[in-house]
Structure 1
Amino acid sequence: MIAGAVTIVVGLFMIASGKTGITGWFNWFGSLPLDMKIEKENFRLHFPLGSSILISILLSLIVYFFNKFIR
């Protein structure tokens, strides 16, 4: 439930910034060093490895501190 609430808040924040999708203040997201983009004539691949690692680290820290202060 907490993850859902956080997702909704982040989505509302992005919409409130006047942009839809990951643009505006978050234009750096998706273009980190390990994010791969392959574009050809009839093919487009976007593999956000660096962004996924960043999200994983941030969520791990949030869960760690949440568990540390709740127990």
Structure 2
Amino acid sequence: MTVTNAFGSSGPARVVIIAWGIGGDGTYASAVYLTHVRYVGKYAVVVRWSDINGNSLPDALDDYEYLATWP
């Protein structure tokens, strides 16, 4: 499972993204997830990573399922 949180800064237009997972693979999966999806209009996302191709590595061929989003 991975959790991603984004918020804007009070200064120039910037977005700060915090991504983490349960264990090393979950954290790695959050980084892979961020490189393959657009983060539009959500402040936080909880995603379940499933290793579909069985290579024990998060990659674009795996399944990333939204469990929750805010707002």
The TM-score range, normalised by the shorter chain, is under 0.3
After TM superposition, the score normalised by the length of structure 1 is: 0.27
Name the larger-Rg structure. Answer: 1
Specify which structure has the higher proportion of helix.
Answer: 1
